[in-house]
Amino acid sequence: GREDSEPSADLPPLEQLRQEAAGCTRCPLHCHATQTVFGEGPGDAEIMFVGEQPGDTEDLAGRPFIGPAGQVFDEAVAAARIDRSQVYVTNAVKHFKYERRGKRRIHMRPDAGEVAHCRWWVAKEIEIIWPRIVVALGATAYLSLTGESRPIAEVRGMPIPMQDNRILLVTTHPSAILRMPDPDLKARSLAAFRSDLADVKR
């Protein structure tokens, strides 16, 4: 037997990275979150989606985009005829940041410092998977991937060439759509989101 050896040494690089990330203490967000929510999907995916950070549901389950925002995401992905099991889905920040109000945990936007710390993991995920297309879901993902703060409306929907032939596509964050109070605006944003995802497939 090899009971002394590092068990992770035999794992594929993405699984090794996942194990390392499980113990991440690079920023204080790990103190109050249940667990690291790492990316999910094949190590050779052509398309990688980057969200903001896990929500309440994701924090408890340890998987990205499975709560209300995940439902909007799944529906748009399915409508675009993308097979979610074939794409890699991750977040710019891998621990849930929240504020406690009674029994509820209210989502708080990660700040630029937290995004910068967690960018280390996102960069590793990209390095290993090397997707053809990276889709930034919202401004936090855009910040993580480019280091720039820009209003999503300015960059949404047009493919941005990155180094080494990768393409960055920016779209709305599904949670932002869910939060829109105006039903007309909400419907239009959802249609634009779906159309952006249909473009990803093309």
Binding residues for ligand URA, rule: CB under 6 A, are: 51-55, 58, 64-65, 67, 69-70, 91, 175
Nearest to ligand URA of 14, 37 (CB atom): 37
CB of 113 to ligand URA, least distance (A): 18
Nearest to ligand URA of 172, 175 (CB atom): 175
Nearest to ligand URA of 163, 190 (CB atom): 190
Residue of minimal CB distance from ligand URA? 51
- Tell me how many helices (H) and strands (E) the chain has: 8, 7
The pair of three-digit structure tokens given for residue 43, joined into one six-digit string:
């190590």
> Within a 10 A sphere around the Cβ of 5, how many other Cβ atoms?
9
CB of 28 to ligand URA, least distance (A): 19
Phi, psi of 101 (to 5 degrees): -130, 100
CB of 73 to ligand URA, least distance (A): 8
Angle between the N-to-C axes of helices 13-22 and 112-129, in degrees from 0 to 180, rounded to the nearest 10:
160
Reduced to 3 states (helix: H, G, I; strand: E, B; else coil), residue 96 is coil
CB of 94 to ligand URA, least distance (A): 9
Nearest to ligand URA of 10, 99 (CB atom): 99
Contacts for 9 with CB less than 8 Å, ≥ 6 apart = 16
